[in-house]
Homo-oligomer: A and B are copies of this chain.
Amino acid sequence: MKDTQDAKPDVLVGLEKVGVTNLKTLIHTTWKGQGYYFTPSIEITINLEKNKKGVHMSRLIESIAEAVEEESAKTGSSIEDIEKRILEALARRHPYRRGEIRMETELIIPKETPVSRRKTAEAHQVEVSVIKDDGSYAKRLKVTVFGNTVCPHSMETAGVPHMQRAVGELTVETGFGNVVGLEEMVECVEQSFSSEVYTLLKSEDEKHVVEKMYRNPKFVEDVAREILEKAKKRFRKCRIRSKVISHESIHRHDVIAEGSVQSSS
């Protein structure tokens, strides 16, 4: 019996991305000798030829299940290793020309408070995507990091600045084999704000952070540019994008700045 999915569709147009999204599962990874557990939200899609009615969706899920089980058993697998293995497992089950898998999760990075030297744990949203296109693999990594902006304009006109929470995003696209660490990406964003932020701050730490903010007034534009510059120096052969949103303390609306550069080989 022929599957409905393999029938000829009424409209003969190929589709770019067909698959499942908002799928959650548990994965185990290893990075620099340390084990991590994640519960990412996953999207996996493949292209659909114009003469096929549908994608066999359960094969996408089976490929995730198979690769997650195999890779989680090993030590030494990163999120992107697991994703590549999923696309390979899928190729054995379902033909496709272009496939893409994305995992969104939270990365907890341990840190020390700046003066009192207490241990804290800082959570950052990360997205890791692997794309297989005509046989070659590429990846896209994105981190979303909290910080702040301190307005240089009001510092000049009022003598004192308004300031606020801001959120910076850094995205890099590069070949699969090019090593780019998510922690290093987080650092590029954190260090571009007026100050980095912390989960725990004792009085002496708070004083240190606040004083640093007043010494580093920055527009959202300044932060977006510094992220680009830091990432360009640090990561080779990458397409680099930054986007910064500042939750203005004197307005109801937000301000944004976005830009992109290509790093040299």
Contacts and interface: CB of A to CB of B under 8 A. Distances in A.
Interface of A: 3-5, 9-11, 13-26, 37, 39, 43, 45, 48, 53-55, 57-58, 61-62, 65, 106, 108, 118-123, 146, 148, 152-154, 156-158, 160-165, 195, 197-203, 206-207, 209-211, 213-214, 219-222, 224-226, 228-229, 245, 247-261
A47 to B, nearest CB: 9
11 contacts: A9-B225, A13-B229, A15-B221, A20-B255, A24-B252, A54-B222, A146-B252, A162-B209, A163-B249, A165-B247, A247-B247
B58 A200 contact: yes
Task: Return the 9 tightest CB-CB contacts between A and B, nearest first.
Answer: A24-B123, A37-B37, A11-B225, A23-B253, A15-B259, A158-B210, A148-B249, A17-B258, A4-B153
Contacts of A203: 58, 153, 157
A228 B25 contact: no
A247 B252 CA distance: 13
Nearest to A221: B54
A139 B232 CA distance: 33
Q: Give the oligomeric copy count.
A: 4
A54 B156 CA distance: 14
B256 A17 contact: yes
Contacts of A229: 11, 13
Contact of A248 (B65, B165, B248): B165
Contacts of A16: 258-260
Contact of A39 (B3, B20, B108): B108
Q: Which of A16, A122, A251, A257 has the most CB of B within 10 A?
A: A251
A14 B259 contact: yes
Contact of A160 (B45, B65, B160): B160
